[in-house]
Amino acid sequence: MRKCYCPAPTGRNMGRISRLETPDMPNLIRIPTPLRNLTRNQAEVSVNARTIGEALDALEGQFNGIKTRLCDEKGNVRRFVNVYVNDEDIRFLQNLATPLKDGDQVSIVPAIAGG
C-alpha cells in the first residue's frame, strides 16, 4: 500500500498528520459474459479500491450502468449476483465492506437457475 499523509481538516486533530492508504496494485475484477456488453467486451477490469463497495463504485465510474445490474435500489448486491474475493463469498465476509488488499481478485458470478 502507498501511504499518503495529509493534515486532518477539523476538530481536535486539526494540525495533526493523518494517514490514508490507497492500493498500489490494482484489483482485478472478472466480468461474467452476460455483463461484458457493459464493459466493452472486457473479461477483466482493473480498479483501485479498499473495499468491495469502492470496487463496485470504481467499476460504475468506468462503465456507467453496470452497478444497477449488480446492486438493488438500496445499494446491496442483488440476491442473484454472487461476488467473490479470492474465491471467498463476500456474504460470508463483510459484504460490501469486505476489505481488499493489493492484488486481490474479485469475481462476479450471476446465479443460474434452471429446471
Using 50, 70 and 90 to split pLDDT, how confident is the model at 14? very low
Beta-bridge mates of residue 3 = 21
Q: What is the mean pLDDT of residues 21-34?
A: 83
Under DSSP, is residue 27 helix (H, G, I), strand (E, B) or coil?
A: strand
Architecture of domain 25-110: Roll (3.10)
pLDDT value at position 23?
A: 52
Cα dihedral value 44, 40, 67, 53, nearest 10: 30
Smallest CA-to-CA distance from 107 within 88, 93, 91 is with: 88
Under DSSP, is residue 114 helix (H, G, I), strand (E, B) or coil?
A: coil
Average pLDDT for the chain: 85
Per-residue pLDDT tens over the stretch 73-93: 999 999 999 999 999 999 999
Per-residue pLDDT tens over the stretch 52-61: 999 999 999 9
Predicted TM-score (pTM) of the model is 0.77
Window from 1-10, 17-26, 83-92 with minimum mean pLDDT? 1-10
Q: At residue 6, does pLDDT exceed 50?
A: no
Supply 87's cell numbers: 474465491
Distance of CA 81 to the CA centre of its chain: 14
- At CA 15, angle to CA 12 and CA 16, rounded to 5? 80
Distance of CA 47 to the CA centre of its chain: 8
Per-residue pLDDT tens over the stretch 92-102: 999 999 999 99
pLDDT value at position 114?
A: 73
Q: Where are the domains of the chain?
A: 25-110
